[in-house]
Structure 1
């Protein structure tokens, strides 16, 4: 089923059919004009005569009489037969070649080679599926590597998702994945031995790759870190969301701001423009190192609009928010996520132009200076 879908997508991109249609239109135009000026037929009869002559049906109700009419009819019939045979041959040849490409994996290799700024997800079990859902909420590009062919068949592919039935422990598989152009390697198979081997191989091939691995057993966390994993998450204590945040850590930005409740809509609009998200909000109190934090996660446009509407129409909601903002003198921080560093930087630059940004990736001491300043 997936092979047939890939073939149909490939044929859509193939220009053979387009050229064939153009040639048929040109021959049809020749037939219609010739029928009008040489056969002396009206428009409707000209269309009819052209079609039956090209198709070599020839009902015999319209008969060429003069030598010129006979020559025209013969050339039209020969052109029709020739071009239809040629187009049929080209289409069969193209389909055969495309099938060979699919069977040999050339189309998949081309799609893999074109991927960049993506995540490589090794393993599509319970944990891998949870991580994948988090990635999709944020419109990330993903290459999924799964050894179970039945599981791969059920994954819906698109321009941002490629599912590859392969063994991620093999060097030849890892070399196909453009890991050096990826945003991170996420390893979530259920076998710590496989995870360890994938981490070792990936680190050996790509020294600068950001690698996040699952550890099914706590005692293997240190082993995976020693093997080269930047982050190791155990689903015994965490889940897919934690693995996602570990994977995107290089593309998460901690931004500290100061603005009123009335500015929340403007902030959300700017972030939406760059496909970035407020993952949480932290309220800072002077002298207290750990802020009061609330997870926001990914809100779609309707959820954001409903939230803004509640602020504007629900007196209790607005008063509660204004009380919190007033308590911290409007100083708060967010973890921002985005498709990549470029879009994150674009969003932050626009927020800076609005004059609400106090700093990016500030330390506790730096944030504390602002809380003191605005407290006084």
Structure 2
């Protein structure tokens, strides 16, 4: 594949946006350089003085008469006749380009991407509809870093800028935008685009770009769920099915469901999280009862081993191993301390 055909969409957009100002700057540079060389030849002045004469002549500042001979006067007439109109038009066009909303949006996106490049173990949300916005609000309340990808620049500008959320304007099905969102460094991705085919394509692309990524996608029916799962999704959610089951649980066990919902409320200080124990964690090799987590206000509801074995409920004698997942419930600050200990 040659270099032109492998040009990314981001690079193509960048070229289109900065093409006009770059051409104008090149013309201005060429115009001033031509005047400098001309004055150098006809006036036999130094390069610095020739450059000075070219600039004051072209800008019509008139600080000094550059004409010292007939040849110089003829050159000035030709130089002004050819260059003054082009110079004025170039400055006007350059100002228009710098004030162009598309130009400013491009550089805003570049600054956004520079911030995204510093993220690690963050979340990516593809689609900023009602579900996408709800996911972003939840992540924001939990102080989790995330990046939003959506095509609607106006909606992203209105909502994400106000909340200081990182976003990328573009098609989430394009690998380039996923890469710009740092998918190789991300820990999870949610695809909540309105189209099943788009969600399937995003899941497939994301799985190819990061094989260890946690991928959650939205689907509308059972067939779509099977397709997206085969594409590589870790979990596929059907809003209608999930909503129906939740309503049924409320009908059967309203008190239990109300208790479970406590952790999801906006003003709740409680969290239900999945914590992975790394090899360097100080908890490795300890029994669950020796960790004193319960005394710290954190309840371990279950342990899932790396081989898939589940301890539910986990006994106090359970030995914690690297790769274990602890399902913990407690106050946010206490849970944060446990997460910190697991990463040490």
TM-score by length of 2: 0.46
Q: Which has the higher contact order (CA 8 A, sep 6+)?
A: 1
